[in-house]
Amino acid sequence: MAIPASELKAGVHYPRNRLELDEFFPDEESCRDYLEGVRWPDGFICPRCGSIGQPWRSARGLLVCRECQAHTSILAGTIFHRTRTPLRTWFLAAWQITSQKYGANALGLQRDLGLKSYETAWAWLHKFRRAMVRPGRDRLDGVVEVDEAYVGGVEEGGRGRDTETKAIVAVAVEIVDEKRLGRVRMQVIPDVSAESLGPFVKAAVTPGATVITDAWSGYTDRELIDYDHLVLNLSEASDPAHVLLPGPHRVISLVKRWLLGTYQGAVAVTQLPYYLDEFTFRFNRRGSRARGLLFYRLLEQACQMPHTPTAGLSQRTGRGPDRRRRS
């Protein structure tokens, strides 16, 4: 179980700056010990028999259960499974991703860590992005604005909600007050039908919450029956959409600016969901004063994410936002 943020102490549970990062992880053994503590904060739990207790240590660095004698690798079942690269290098990558306000791109990561290839840096970033969505995360609550947005370059002939080349992104944002936004959820959807928008809202928003949408037919009362659904008819309103539904418009504007600034818009539509996960991870933790806490949370979630082989990470292919068609 994750340790509440109130119980985590800077300088004790996570480094506060790059100097402390080097002090925390001077060698590979310290990295393995730290990862073990992040993965099992309440003590080692044997994946075979479920017993809790201090395990034996084998000569190969495996954890040996005192009850059933099962051997467990600290890295098994994490994104680091069977890695041949020192954990310290992985930790440096995680620090770079979380310590920079706008994240890291593959070229910068390759250069700063001295990785052999751009492809390795690209794959590492995507492995971490897959760990940025916490399993079983809480749904949005309170007042939530929902809308769709389109990510991609300029499309000739597109009108309204019609598109052939752009990615359609559903956006849900908690509204704290007139000036403050809460958490956000985003998802790439195939179209703007009720069959796509309804499941997105149900997965993103707690039943009973107030959901505010425009009058698009995709937001049907049948799909949103579990919510207090407030409909804004934009065609009859004197104010534009970004004034009546400011939350989603503000968020997607930040997303496009981030994609263009950090990645120069070179994001394929097939990989866009993982970039949205990264943005969500950062946006929902934007109030954190300690970058080290983000580092801790990323490693914590990396221990809960099954290993994805590099071969399973699709390279930058497919139609969508790329170097020629910028977001």
What is the rounded average pLDDT of the residues 13-35?
96
Residue 48: which pLDDT band, with cuts at 50, 70 and 90?
very high
Output the CA–CA distances (angstroms, integers) from residue 295 to 41, 92, 286, in the order listed. Answer: 16, 10, 13
pLDDT score recorded for residue 6: 81
* Interacting residues of 198 by C-beta distance below 8 A, sequence separation 6+: 218, 220, 223, 224
pLDDT score recorded for residue 111: 96
pLDDT score recorded for residue 97: 96
Residue 327: which pLDDT band, with cuts at 50, 70 and 90?
very low
pLDDT score recorded for residue 153: 66
Distance of CA 93 to the CA centre of its chain: 16
pLDDT score recorded for residue 324: 32
Check the CA dihedral 280-281-284-285 and report its sign: negative
Judged by DSSP in three states, 229 sits in strand
Tell me if 196 sits within 8 A of 220, measured CB to CB: no
Judged by DSSP in three states, 186 sits in strand
Residue 66: which pLDDT band, with cuts at 50, 70 and 90?
very high
**pLDDT, tens digit (0-9, with 9 covering 90-100), for 132-180:** 988 789 999 999 999 999 998 666 655 557 676 789 999 999 999 988 9
pLDDT value at 267 more than 90: no
Tell me if 62 sits within 8 A of 96, measured CB to CB: no
pLDDT score recorded for residue 89: 97
- Structural domains of the chain, with CATH: 143-154+162-252 (3.30.420.10)
pLDDT score recorded for residue 323: 33
pLDDT score recorded for residue 160: 56
| Phi and psi angles of residue 17, each rounded to the nearest 5 degrees, phi first | -155, 180
What's the whole-number average pLDDT of the chain? 89
Rounded to a whole number of angstroms, the distance between the first and last alpha carbons of the chain is: 38
Comparing C-alpha atoms, which of 33, 7, 30, 34 is closest to residue 295? Answer: 34
pLDDT value at 318 more than 60: no
pLDDT value at 326 more than 70: no
The H or E element containing residue 212 is strand 210-214
